Structure 1
Amino acid sequence: MTCAVPVKGPSVRPRALVYGDVDLNLIDGSAIWAQGMVQAAARAGCEVTLVLKAPVRTGRLVDPLRALPGVTVLSPHAEGLVEGEASMQPKQAAAVLSSIDAADPFDLVVVRGRRLAGKLSAGSLAGRLWTYLTDVPQSAGEFTGSAKGELRRIADASRVLLCQTEELRGFLESAVPATAGKSVLFPPVVVLPDGMTGREGGAPEGRALRLVYTGKFAPRWNTYEMAGLPRLLAQRGVDAELHMVGDKVHDDPKDPGYSERMRSALEGGQGVIWHGGHPRAEAMRLTAACDVGLSWRHPEMDASLELSTKVLECGTLGVPVVLNRTPMHERLFGEDYPLFAASEADVVDALTLIGKNPDVFTLAVQRCRQAASDFTLDAAAERLRTYLGQTFPEPSKLVLAAARVAALAAPQRPAVEGDVLVHEATAPANPQAPAAATPPAPAVEGPRKLRIGVAGHDLKFFTRLLDYLKSRPDMEVRVDHWAALKVHDPERSQELVEWADVVVCEWCGPNALWYAAHKRPGQRLVVRLHRFELYAAWPRHLDISAVDQVVCVSPHYADLTRETTGWPADKVVVVPNWVDDLQLDRHKLAGAEHHLGMIGIAPSRKRLDLALDALEELRREDPRFTLFVKSKLPWEYWWIWQREDERAHYEQVFRRIRRSPLLAGGVVFDSYGRDVAAWLRRIGFVLSTSDDESFHLAPAEGMASGAVPVLLGWPGADTIYDRRWIHQDASAMAASIAATVREGRWEAERLLAQQQVRGQYALDEVCRQWTDLLAGALTPSGR
């Protein structure tokens, strides 16, 4: 008899292991990250173990964490896991983390540091990594083949990729496609010490202007140049003093004398007060006592995709900040923020203005407070709760009951790993591989996972659903991946038949025919049918009596399936396509309301020509309208380009784009890729001009991104999308788009569209429907 370990329920707190390749004896942004991550994870409901990189030499940052309930701080040096006093290097840290986990496995492992993540990607923690990415190449020119390969391996091994900014997430998704779908936002966390309220009072009057900098002292941070600001301001008649907090002075190999110059400026610069290193609470208290923070950096850092924690801390404290003008900073502070600076002269000008103009000071304070309001500990904890909820779905009583019924009804057969609910960390490395046989299990004690087999040659439309099913604590999933439409390993398929409670055939093709012929009595078989197969021969040869349910993605195609095949109506159910609404919901870029988008223009029935008709009408009145096309080009599909009628269609379309004065400069072709969410940030309207679609996911993805869908009335469109988005012809499409922008309705319309798609096609809603389907609860009434 096998024993069943109870499935982890909602009352059990996920156990999180946290490690950053950072020294918590030093105060800098990376050390503050470690503090914020631990606090946010604990508040989100995790039991947190923080592992330290270096021996504890000062408790300034560590002691407050030790006092938090549910938090354990582990020092490998003090525990005897590391010899000597040197900080752990990535290879050593990877070994220590793996050994700590092996003793009592964790549910998730949060790590910061690219080299460390690279070491862990091939180890036992793969699949449970929540990798915080910052130290990555931040321009296309820096992305070498080895860098891309390493980041791809890290992405493959990570369950979640935590990105500090939207800019970093979008860049990674375009440069490393494997990061798409896994990348989520986790901005810096700003936590004020207990009892601290921030700066009080208005602009300084009758005393010196107090400037403040906290952090490391390094060339690109312009800290040496900052030390000269009181002297330069004195020449402008502005009395100022500079308070500098920190004890980490950078040794620059390119400038051996930098460290000595920096220390001299700290110790003897005019108007400079060096406070040295302090606990974070004291550093923030010193900041709150000042008037203006400094985060002015070298111009080569303008392209940084990271956001300074210090800037946000100053904003929370009500201390306005001098910083570089970048697109990211403009989005946060506004284009007219008065303390943007590109040079030393700009800094002096801004500080002179703020020292003499109280109104400018007040405006700067308001903008900084507003910018920092989205980076609180509560906001960070709520983000993590959302990600934890997606990663660790609660077990379903319905699924557990279905598993028990399936187990009791199944004939005696060799028990496999799935009969025992083991901790995720000890599950087989390859869940698709058959487990070794053990003595028969005539009965099942307690809850057991429902065994789901998925079979098909192309799972691209099933990927996120597969990820979700694998994440459920009440399901075990194995995949029979066919090498081609008609090519598979019969022995492997038979093993799945012997093991699974439910088999899902993705595509109604040869895989569905084989499983219908070989399924066990009492075993459930679910087939998902796409447009591609409906008019092929396979459905006619399918033994529908062996199939429990056929899944279609829209009511229109469900009706067509019943009419075409003559299958019993109650066998055909509707579960719509999913839209990853959380991934797609991103801040729109400026000008999006004049940008149209199409995703996929091949084959010709996608009707790019009709989109061009609409674009020409729009550009007659407003040349700002632009069509962005994200797609493979038709000649990249051999099966399309070999057809003479298809080639003729596209030759005419591209000839028109080249020759039409109205289209000149108005059509942009972007490369095909997985970075759809980042691409949609620039799109305000998503077009669907097809002759025929089974669902057409592009408008739904656009809606989830906050774009307005604009569709022609292809058959069944009104069973999927609200009629308000459906138009009679290209001219009506253009008129609607123009009116929406001209009348200022774009914002309201896009929010309505987003609300609609979340209610119908959000990933969690579709996953819920699939859970019910696999547990045997979904019927045609689920249409």
Structure 2
Amino acid sequence: MTRTLHALVYGDVDLNVIDGSAVWAQSTVQALSLAGCRTRLVLKSPVRTERLIEPLTGLPGVTVVRPYEERLVPGQGPRASLSPVQASQLLARLDGDEPCDLLVLRGRRVVSRLVADGSFGGRIWAYLTDIPQSAAEMTEAARADLARVASACHRILCQTEELRCFLETWVPEACGKSVLSPPAVPVPGFPLPERDGPHDPLRLVYTGKFAPRWNTLPMTRLPSLLRERNIRAELHMVGDKIHDDRARPAYKAEMAEALRKASGVRHHGGQPREEAMRIAAGCDLGLGWRDPSLDASLELSTKVLEFGVLGLPVVLNRTPAHEALLGGDYPLYVPGSATLDDAAEAVTRAVREPEARRLAAERCREAAGRHTLQAAADRWRTHLARAFPSRPPALAARKRPLRLGVAGHDLKFLTRLLDHLRSLPGLDVRVDAWPALARHDPAASKELADWADVVFVEWCGPAAVWYSRHKRRGSRLVVRLHRFELTGPWPRQVDIDAVDRVVCVSPCYARRTREHTGWPESKISVIPNWVDTAQLDRPKVPGARFRLGMIGIVPSLKRLDLGLDVLEKLRAGDRRWHLSVKSKPPWEYWWIWNKPEERAHYDAVLRRIQTSPLLEGAVVFDAFGPDVPGWLRRIGHVLSTSDLESFHLATAESMASRAVPALLPWAGADEIYDRRWIHETPEAIADAIAELGPQEWREAGELARTQVHESFSLERVAGDWAELLLSG
């Protein structure tokens, strides 16, 4: 990133009260500042306390916009927060005065409003937590709204991997746009106290909002309950936001009463973040115990991380998100149904088992170390460098943007590459998307041909033929050939004299292209397929080692039957092995299903799955879709058993997820993939897979990922394409 980027930040957040959303706003601005962005934080509410704003003043490039105090919104009262409509109008006005490169938004209502208003098309980075987080909550109306949001946003910022995968499963438009943006905590600016053991009385601490499902009212009874267990304790509570719950009208008064009068409770009120951390640092044990209704949450508690950075162990519920963060054997999970007695039992263990307390503190400290402000700034730098790449040298000296036209009937292999090209400064990109292989609007295609300095045609089909015959003098024409086109009539119809370069995805198909067409070797290049290694870099779920995967089983030359051979041999020795298949069914490809030999092949395969004792219940067919990165979290080994492939992108994508590849020796495989992954027979594949123990499997997965990143990463391949397309 060579230029200074300008960011606007706004959230449906009141920075007068300390809670997770307010801390998010503060941390996001701090991280963007560390990442080198000029950042304007726009406040939603009039300022009643400076404690969360004060740490931002004086940060490099940071401005806090106070709409009420600066009288930017006519009619806003001293206690009134901005509505989504007011926020949208104000942000558009601020952008008009000083355009931003990205608008970071938190809150579904305000994001939906800005998307509907359309002032920031393609520049919104939406941080979404207040969305459905279960299948039961994901109504069609909610899904449609999220689809509109995802389509309009540049990036979707997800707090956890679980939330990202859930969103991608239900909202395909979010695939490829969703990136991780977990909570960030500052390193304390004061020395931490030495801890030889817990204080007497034991000091428990909770910081944040007071709400029914956060169990803050039952917490106030812990000191009394612990006394019955002969443990003297006091509870320190920091915060001043008491939730007004319509379902429990008396809650607010009861909570306020408990903060004032409950035995052993010390209420410190609202405090600046640094002071809240100082109070917590003087305690022995943090409380993150919540109502079991939140156990299915796909979010991560910032408080766990804040306590962890202070070296405090935390008592909290056992949830998938917490297990991913702290491990399944973390010793201070609240057992059972997470009742008050269960919480007291976890606290008792922390007091009476020093080793459990030490291990818990170490796990929390390690987790916090992965979520510091510096780590957040590094993530932002990475996200921004991908979204705003530097201007290529070939474009630096041009007086006007280079005009790049992209044409073809199927651009699925270009998605992220096209995003990269569109984001390059000095490049103007237009697309001529043909609705079918041989169907297009000749007038639109002619307009593109006359306009473009360079035309890039995806697939050497009818579009390549048309553009080779309508090339403008002085322009350049680049055609990419995959595999199926080579045996079709189109290469013979292309005017090769008008084509400046033909790009193949593998050395094998470059040779075949030369042999089949007789085209000059000087016009044929090899650039491999790209792999978005960053999107695919996701942790495996438990049990992934015993799951094989296949992506795409149509047509029959993909040889699902040989994949079943591998599975049967593995299950003959261990019934834990399963196969997941992600693909459209063959009958959705009418041009394939109409062939009797194809129907016979799949009839035999499906019958075999139904009747083989070794395959019973062991093969799962998953829906075709773009949510491949999330799906690959479950896959430990990927099979490539095809009769022929030009590249087999699915293998490379799976390797990027740390799935261990296993290939049969289709022609050219050894020129793309390491020979160690290639085996002569399905039986040899099964033997190689079975020999990998847990550690060997992890090491093989890391090696596979490294190989793909070095050879096929999006950044590397996009650089090769930029050099080819942009150089004279």
Residue 357 of structure 1 is matched in structure 2 by 353
Residue from 450, 458, 466 that aligns with 1:514: 466
Q: State the 1:185 CA deviation.
A: 0.5
Residue from 42, 48, 61 that aligns with 2:39: 48
Q: State the 1:353 CA deviation.
A: 2.0
Residue from 101, 112, 115 that aligns with 2:109: 115
Q: State the 1:193 CA deviation.
A: 4.1
C-alpha separation in 2, matches of 1:176 and 1:29: 25
1:232 and 2:244 are equivalent in the alignment: no
AA paired with 2:122? G
Task: Give the SS at the match of 2:370.
Answer: helix
Q: Which runs of 5+ in 1 are unaligned?
A: 1-9, 405-446, 778-783
Residue 246 of structure 1 is matched in structure 2 by 239
Report if aligned partners of 1:188, 1:375 keep a CA contact under 8 Å in 2. Answer: yes
C-alpha separation in 2, matches of 1:184 and 1:55: 32
Q: State the 1:96 CA deviation.
A: 0.8
Residue 770 of structure 1 is matched in structure 2 by 721
1:390 and 2:341 are equivalent in the alignment: no
1:147 and 2:138 are equivalent in the alignment: no
The runs of at least 4 consecutive aligned structure 1 residues that moved more than 6 Å come to none
AA paired with 1:669? F
Residue from 299, 315, 325 that aligns with 2:318: 325
1:366 and 2:362 are equivalent in the alignment: yes
C-alpha separation in 1, matches of 2:192 and 2:167: 36
Task: Give the SS at the match of 1:140.
Answer: coil
Residue 444 of structure 1 is matched in structure 2 by none
Q: Assess, with a 3 A threshold, how the Cα gap between structure 1 residues 199 and 29 changes in structure 2: closer, same or farther.
A: farther
Q: State the 1:481 CA deviation.
A: 1.6
C-alpha separation in 1, matches of 2:326 and 2:418: 41
1:89-108 matches, within 5 Å, as 89-108=83-102
C-alpha separation in 1, matches of 2:386 and 2:281: 38
Q: State the 1:359 CA deviation.
A: 2.4
AA paired with 2:121? A
Spell out, residue by residue over 1:44-81, the C-alpha distance to the aligned partner (whole angstroms, 9 max, x if none): 11111111111111100001101211101111112211
Residue 157 of structure 2 is matched in structure 1 by 162
Residue 594 of structure 1 is matched in structure 2 by 546
Residue 549 of structure 1 is matched in structure 2 by 501
C-alpha separation in 1, matches of 2:659 and 2:15: 44
Report if aligned partners of 2:309, 2:364 keep a CA contact under 8 Å in 1. Answer: yes
Report if aligned partners of 1:400, 1:448 keep a CA contact under 8 Å in 2. Answer: no
C-alpha separation in 1, matches of 2:206 and 2:656: 41
1:377-776 matches, within 5 Å, as 377-401=373-397, 404=398, 447-741=399-693, 744-776=695-727
Report if aligned partners of 1:203, 1:362 keep a CA contact under 8 Å in 2. Answer: no
Task: Give the SS at the match of 1:650.
Answer: helix
Residue 314 of structure 1 is matched in structure 2 by 307
Task: Give the SS at the match of 2:136.
Answer: helix
Q: Which has the higher contact order (CA 8 A, sep 6+)?
A: 1
AA paired with 2:462? P
Q: TM-score, normalised by structure 2?
A: 0.98
Report if aligned partners of 1:197, 1:317 keep a CA contact under 8 Å in 2. Answer: no
AA paired with 1:385? R
Q: State the 1:448 CA deviation.
A: 2.4
AA paired with 1:348? A
Q: State the 1:729 CA deviation.
A: 0.7
AA paired with 1:36? S
Spell out, residue by residue over 1:662-702, the C-alpha distance to the aligned partner (whole angstroms, 9 max, x if none): 11121111111111000101111110000011110111011
AA paired with 1:320? P
AA paired with 1:381? A
Task: Give the SS at the match of 1:142.
Answer: coil
AA paired with 2:374? D
Q: Assess, with a 3 A threshold, how the Cα gap between structure 1 residues 199 and 602 changes in structure 2: closer, same or farther.
A: farther
Higher alpha-carbon deviation: 36-45 or 333-342: 333-342
Q: State the 1:583 CA deviation.
A: 0.3
Q: State the 1:358 CA deviation.
A: 2.4
C-alpha separation in 1, matches of 2:293 and 2:364: 24
Report if aligned partners of 1:202, 1:362 keep a CA contact under 8 Å in 2. Answer: no
Residue from 47, 51, 54 that aligns with 1:63: 54
Aligned CA-pair RMSD: 1.2
C-alpha separation in 2, matches of 1:690 and 1:770: 28
Q: State the 1:199 CA deviation.
A: 4.4
Q: State the 1:114 CA deviation.
A: 0.7
Task: Give the SS at the match of 1:285.
Answer: helix
Q: Assess, with a 3 A threshold, how the Cα gap between structure 1 residues 299 and 199 changes in structure 2: closer, same or farther.
A: farther
C-alpha separation in 2, matches of 1:306 and 1:328: 7
C-alpha separation in 1, matches of 2:703 and 2:697: 10
Q: State the 1:484 CA deviation.
A: 2.1
C-alpha separation in 1, matches of 2:394 and 2:193: 55
Spell out, residue by residue over 1:477-505, the C-alpha distance to the aligned partner (whole angstroms, 9 max, x if none): 01112222222222222221222110011
AA paired with 1:655? R
C-alpha separation in 1, matches of 2:624 and 2:516: 34
Q: State the 1:357 CA deviation.
A: 2.8
AA paired with 1:349? E
C-alpha separation in 1, matches of 2:198 and 2:213: 29
Report if aligned partners of 2:299, 2:321 keep a CA contact under 8 Å in 1. Answer: no
AA paired with 1:56? V
AA paired with 1:636? E
Q: State the 1:520 CA deviation.
A: 1.3
Q: Which runs of 5+ in 2 are unaligned?
A: none
Q: TM-score, normalised by structure 1?
A: 0.91
Report if aligned partners of 2:313, 2:364 keep a CA contact under 8 Å in 1. Answer: yes
Higher alpha-carbon deviation: 76-85 or 682-691: 76-85
Task: Give the SS at the match of 2:120.
Answer: coil
Report if aligned partners of 1:449, 1:475 keep a CA contact under 8 Å in 2. Answer: yes
C-alpha separation in 2, matches of 1:261 and 1:702: 54
Spell out, residue by residue over 1:185-218, the C-alpha distance to the aligned partner (whole angstroms, 9 max, x if none): 1110000342x2434313215x101111111111
Q: State the 1:320 CA deviation.
A: 0.9
C-alpha separation in 1, matches of 2:565 and 2:685: 10
1:261-276 matches, within 5 Å, as 261-276=254-269
Q: State the 1:328 CA deviation.
A: 1.7
Spell out, residue by residue over 1:690-745, the C-alpha distance to the aligned partner (whole angstroms, 9 max, x if none): 00111101110111001111000001111111111111010010011011237x41
AA paired with 2:60? P
C-alpha separation in 1, matches of 2:353 and 2:689: 45
C-alpha separation in 2, matches of 1:11 and 1:747: 37
Report if aligned partners of 1:199, 1:319 keep a CA contact under 8 Å in 2. Answer: no
1:87 and 2:38 are equivalent in the alignment: no
Task: Give the SS at the match of 2:407.
Answer: strand
AA paired with 2:13? V
AA paired with 2:153? S
AA paired with 2:235? L
C-alpha separation in 1, matches of 2:628 and 2:3: 36
Residue 29 of structure 2 is matched in structure 1 by 38
C-alpha separation in 1, matches of 2:464 and 2:119: 35
AA paired with 1:241? E
Higher alpha-carbon deviation: 698-707 or 337-346: 337-346
Spell out, residue by residue over 1:528-563, the C-alpha distance to the aligned partner (whole angstroms, 9 max, x if none): 112121111111011000000111111111111111
1:192 and 2:192 are equivalent in the alignment: no
Task: Give the SS at the match of 1:740.
Answer: coil
Report if aligned partners of 2:392, 2:424 keep a CA contact under 8 Å in 1. Answer: no
